[in-house]
Amino acid sequence: MKIALAQLNYHIGNFESNTEKIISAIDKAKAEGAELVVFAELSVCGYPPRDFLEFKSFIEECGKSITEIAAACKGIAAIVGAPSSNPNIHGKNLFNSAYFLAEGKVEKIISKALLPTYDVFDEYRYFEPSRKFEVVEYKGERIALTICEDIWDIEQDPMYVVNPMDELAKQKPTLMVNIAASPFDYNHADERRKVMRYNAEKYKLPLFYVNHVGAQTELIFDGGSMVADNSGKIVEELNYFKDDFRIFDTGKLNFEKKLHKTDSKIERIHDALVLGIRDYFGKMGFSKAILGLSGGIDSAVVLALASRALGKENVSVLLLPSQFSSDHSISDSEEMCKRLGTKYHIIGIKEIFSVIDNKLKPIFAGMPFNVAEENIQARIRGILLMAMTNKFGSILLNTTNKSEAAVGYGTLYGDMNGGLSILGDVYKTQVYELANHINNLDNCIPENIITKAPSAELRENQKDSDSLPEYSILDEILFDYIEKRLGPKELIAKGYDEKLVMRILKMVNTSEYKRHQLPPVLRVSPKAFGVGRRMPIVGKYLS
């Protein structure tokens, strides 16, 4: 049987666009001789729809789309993801389902059994797990149809009490199809391949896998749909970070052997961030971005990424020097703008700061210059940048990196402003890697921005290292604490200094209130700040 995989970029709640894309792919598959075309999990409504699922009208729109798509399935069958109603009064009202459409109607509905409720996933909030397992028969094939998590529970310590494929295997299927919404992180493609190989080898069946591509606010979907043969070998992968469409013949799977090239971790992060920026703007209906360019590496990397995602003509820059800004911060920023062809304006903030400082002097009388005056400068910059966004209808890009966000090294309503956080899941040491990768592509970041010591330049001769450990050490401890969830005893046992560990962990935990006010953070790691990491603001543990 000829099976088409349609890897598409959906838009949450945009039923007209999603339905049009799906029907267009069905027509293409039919014209090219496919007998079945497969789409991703919850493709009709987009993933994750979250609390939209609590609206009756939203579910009704899903149903209308399914009816319209089914009508296009004549002479060809399709597997499409959408919510379905639970007819049983007990349990949640919805299932996360795969609709098998043929002959102009819904032939069968298969629902997801394993509902992930961890990290960025909260499916049990909305869906009832299916407890019924049955194959789909079509054109002589017996299809074991599963949805994403249903084939992922393969570890030695299973998370669930049932294995859907073990149940389906009892019905002697001839092939497996898995439709998914599997978000990107820089390790996930390798994990995904491992899961597909494991299932194909274990059940000795070919596996057809379709994933989402595109970004939905902070979640980025990288595609990478694939086919594995019945020996567990990956036969072919679809493209990463863009729409793709392929047709496979189940009788000729051993002869393709077209594997996607393996990119480095930093390449994957770069491509994910570019897609994340592009889709956030496109799906929100915006085209123009603005950012403050400080002469430091974080804002330089954000400018380069935004220019690549949106086009240089759609990105503008403010240079906002104070009395503490170095000459090279201004000249380096100007040089980068010239290399990219980016529009920029220079607005000095010394006079504005003096006005505010003078107004506060009677109240601050006799008190030394400290973080209060430093933050005033950051907030002046925030006001000016937000004024530009309001006047010209652009979105302010936040340039805070993950190391800074972790320890609270940033000013609320100042440099933590923005509509989207580009580097909030990228540690400082990774930002340097990104800068070097970007320069290998088009050499747009001046070398001095990469090599000079990082500084907020909010007081005379300030360096980040005055307030923080060296980033090479800080990032290692942060990674072990945030991504690996190691506690203080485990960190100290690894050889880190005890006082340093306790200091850093306290900084992380007492800064939670700041992270709650960050803009959405593009997720590129297995544990990002935002919806996937839920910590109390008022908590005594390690604070």
Residues marked as catalytic: 41, 112, 148
What is the spatial distance between Cα 88 and Cα 93, in angstroms, rounded to a whole number? 8
- Identify the three-state secondary structure at position 54: helix
Return the closest-CA partner of residue 142 out of 104, 110, 167, 169: 169
Distances (CA, A) of 470 to 72, 474, 504: 60, 6, 12
Could you tell me if 505 and 542 are in contact, meaning their C-beta atoms sit under 8 angstroms apart? yes
SS (H, E, C) 194-246: HHHHHHHHHHCCCEEEECCEEEECCEEEEECCEEECCCCCEEEECCECCCEEE
Number of CB atoms found within 10 A of residue 493's CB: 10
Distances (CA, A) of 201 to 47, 174, 206: 29, 13, 9
Q: DSSP code of 521? A: B
Return the closest-CA partner of residue 483 out of 491, 492, 493: 491
Number of CB atoms found within 10 A of residue 27's CB: 13
SS (H, E, C) 405-431: HHHCCCCCCCCCCCCEECCCCCCHHHH
| Size of the chain in residues | 543
- Return all residues near 159 (Cβ < 8 A) that are at least 6 apart: 114, 153
Using CB atoms within 10 A of its CB, is residue 119 exposed (0-12), middle (13-18) or buried (19+)?
Answer: middle
What is the spatial distance between Cα 288 and Cα 312, in angstroms, rounded to a whole number? 10
